[in-house]
Amino acid sequence: MLLTHLGLLFSAAFWLSRCFKGMGRWFFIGVLFFPPIFSHSGFIVKDVSFTLSYLFCISLLTFYTIQKKPLTISALISIFLILFYGTAVKYQAIFLLPLLSFWIAYCMNPLSTCLKIFIKGMGIWGFLWGAIILFNAWAVPQKDHAWQYVKLYDLAAISLETGEDLIPAYSKSLHFSKEALTINFNPVRVDELVFPQNALLVKGKNDEERNHLWHTWFDSVLKHPKAYLKHRYRLSKNLLTLSPIKSFHKIQSNQEAVSGPIKKMLYLLEDLGIMEFLQLITSFYIYIPCVFLYMGLGWFAYRRTRTPYGISLFMMNSLALCPILVLFVFSMASDAPRYLYISACCFHLSHPFMLMCWKSLRKSNTLRVKR
Amino acid sequence: MGSRKITEARRIKPLEEKKSQCYKISMNFNLKNQSHVLWWSLFSIAFLVDLFIWWPGILRPDSMGQLSQAQQGAFSGDHHPPIMGHVLVPFKRNLSLTRPHASDSPRAFIQRCFLVESMF
């Protein structure tokens, strides 16, 4: 499985490096060991599977965009297969699929009109979405409607913020009380409220309860938008500031599992401030202004000089931003930085594209101030 | 006549520039090109180093749960997508060993640096 993951990561780096001459190619070897990308490449989890599958598809699409060649049948089949796996492995991936579908439609024939690309893109999106729904229905005939956890978590947060009891009666377990809710509510994840045996909140058991829960949530958000946004902002902020590297000093449990010399070296690294530096560069929040900047630059470069690097830069950074927006609405936990692994990979792999866009703008004299 | 030549040249030049920008950047493996050989050697070494550091991969409790669900053939609802479990089953023999290295090797050190999140 690790071989598959690393195969996807290195294939992505290979296809991206084929878009450059000279120094650009060497960048894609070094960047694989850059902490934000390297730190999760050894994990076997669905978030990494999703990220690396998407990254492979992005790299192939980038290659064909830069070459200005229509996608070959073999490339199209491999993109569809890997995209199917990448989307099926993580539910939130479905929200990123439209962006990639439109990009695939563009790469199938770069000279098509916008309308044709839009129709083709919608078709690809519908086809893949349908295939995933059918697969999931076949694999898991009985659904447990896990989306309700997010709504219950939001309702609990709004209730605590406003002091108003918004949680429907059927979602309260026997252990529920206002005091218990205050004690067990964790601002970074829903787990303590819904997963323990003596959970305070339970999901709706039938369609009627589920529909009611959804409407209760919707009305509560409209009634208390400030409390809802505050809760969501807190969750997103925590996710963005997280780093996969934790301070060794602060961890109390399980320290005996680490052998003596390694523990000494880790303490030394902390004392030298290296771990702090690694934590800083692996948190995504410091890159957010750059993501917007890169998107703007990509768009501007494409509009002014028609450079294909502009399309790739814009798309890669849109795909970096999209998960943040999706998680702002749908996340029920923000305790693992791997949720934003795709954002980190897309952003850091787009640096050479930014340089190419900058170069093409300078070459076309667009950036020169007229006197 | 002269002005016609100039306009034609103006028309052709950007096209050539575009072609050179778009079609000549593809890199194919060429044994005679030292830079290509060096790039491929480094790329292969990087892959092997990455594989060596992380082998056999680090499983999270989430993935363990998905694997056990797939092994039993009973997925408990739609909390985790089922495909990951199905993909993990063929690798279960290898994955049961998956955990950070406990030795004093450099590999263990690098893993510890990046895996503190998963270990504690």
The pLDDT assigned to B22 comes to 46
Q: In chain A, whose CA is at the least distance from the CA of B99?
A: A43
Say if the Cβ atoms of A140 and B119 lie within 8 Å.
no
Low-confidence ranges of chain A (pLDDT < 70): 246-262, 366-371
Q: In chain B, whose CA is at the least distance from the CA of A261?
A: B104
What are the tens digits of pLDDT across the range B44-96?
899 998 888 887 777 777 777 777 777 776 666 566 777 777 777 776 665 55
- Distance, CA of A300 to CA of A311 (rounded, Å): 10
Structure tokens belonging to residue A343: 């954002």
Phi and psi, residue A44, nearest 5°: -110, 85
Say if the Cβ atoms of A246 and B95 lie within 8 Å.
no
- Distance, CA of A225 to CA of B54 (rounded, Å): 45
Q: What is the average pLDDT across B9-15?
A: 49
Query: B52 at the A interface (CB within 8 A)?
Result: no
The pLDDT assigned to B54 comes to 80
Q: In chain B, whose CA is at the least distance from the CA of A45?
A: B63
Q: What distances in angstroms separate CA A300 from CA A308, A361, A369, one per listed residue?
A: 12, 9, 16
Residue B119 banded pLDDT, cuts 50, 70, 90: very low
Distance of CA A367 to the CA centre of its chain: 33
Query: B106 at the A interface (CB within 8 A)?
Result: no
- More confident call, B98 vs A100: A100
The pLDDT assigned to A53 comes to 94
The pLDDT assigned to A334 comes to 79
Q: Which stretch of DSSP H or E encloses residue A9?
A: helix A2-17
Query: B17 at the A interface (CB within 8 A)?
Result: no
- Distance, CA of B15 to CA of A360 (rounded, Å): 15
ipTM of the complex: 0.79
The pLDDT assigned to A170 comes to 85
What are the tens digits of pLDDT across the range A110-132?
888 888 889 999 999 999 999 98
Say if the Cβ atoms of A42 and B54 lie within 8 Å.
yes
Angle at A79 between CA A46 and CA A338, to 5 degrees: 25
Q: What distances in angstroms separate CA A28 from CA A218, A278, A350, A361, one per listed residue?
A: 45, 20, 10, 23
- Is the distance from CB of A208 to CB of A215 less than 8 angstroms? no
- Is the distance from CB of A296 to CB of A152 less than 8 angstroms? no
**DSSP class of A137:** H
The pLDDT assigned to A370 comes to 55
The pLDDT assigned to A331 comes to 85
